[in-house]
Structure 1
Amino acid sequence: MFCFRRKDTESGDAPESLRRLRLRFRGEVQGVGFRWTSRIVADKTGCTGWVRNDSDGTVAMELQGTNDQISRWFGGLSSSYVRYPIDYRIDEKVEIDPVSDERGFEVRFC
């Protein structure tokens, strides 16, 4: 499982802030329900953002949530493919600015 936690130098009383990751997945990620599974897991974990297939065979995604939500999303995605393992890797992971007022997670089409 991936861990994306940062050390918090402020008091633990403050609410956890949102983070947004730009991700690119490579491998067995098209034709296996990857986008739809991503959306289902995002809905369960409270993450927002979007996912789409790209013409080069990769899947692009922006995933937004708290550290805990993002961590649970990665765990949930892995759990979803336990019975039907797929071979994929994260080819790109970049921290970007959160999008304010985003309401959900959508599957986009090129």
Structure 2
Amino acid sequence: MKELVRYHMVFSGRVQGVGFRYKANYIADQYRLTGYVRNEYDGSVTVEVQGSEQEIYMFLKSLASDRFIAIHDLKKEKIPVEDDERGFIVKY
């Protein structure tokens, strides 16, 4: 069984109004990651994502390669895994 990790991340840059949340949701589903994505009032986007280190790396790589998204800063912190989480959602 793969070892799960969870990260709390805050993305800054051109990350709102460019489909970031929907792209994150789509990619997370592809890699079977759990967590959520949410726009913040300051223009940043918060993501909590859970899966293997490799899957999360691929998630970040896919997000960064989107031509409409421009990530200028990423704050990333490892946080405790949530055992009962079953999917990835877009929060409003």
- Same-fold call, TM > 0.5? yes
One-letter code aligned to 1:74: L
Say how many residue pairs are matched: 92
CA deviations 1:13-49 (Å, max 9, x no partner) are xx32100000000010000000000000000011110
Q: Distance in 1 between matches of 2:63 and 2:3?
A: 22
Partner of 1:95: 78
Greater strand fraction, Structure 1 or Structure 2: 2
Partner of 1:4: none
Is 2:63–2:69's contact at 8 Å kept on the other side of the alignment? no
One-letter code aligned to 1:76: S
Which segments of 5 or more consecutive residues in structure 1 lack a partner in the other structure? Answer: 1-14
Percent identity of paired positions between Structure 1 and Structure 2: 39
Structure 1 consecutive aligned stretches of length 4 or more whose deviation exceeds 4 Å? none
Partner of 2:44: 58
Which structure's CA Rg is the greater one?
1
Shift of 1:74: 1.6
Is 2:20–2:69's contact at 8 Å kept on the other side of the alignment? no
Q: Distance in 2 between matches of 1:68 and 1:91?
A: 18
Which segments of 5 or more consecutive residues in structure 2 lack a partner in the other structure? Answer: none
One-letter code aligned to 1:101: D
Shift of 1:87: 1.9
More RCO (CA 8 Å, sep 6+): 2
Q: Tell whether 2:17 aligns with 1:18.
A: no
TM-score, normalised via structure 2 length: 0.91
TM-score, normalised via structure 1 length: 0.77
One-letter code aligned to 1:46: R
Q: Secondary structure at the match of 2:64?
A: helix
Q: Distance in 2 between matches of 1:85 and 1:33?
A: 8
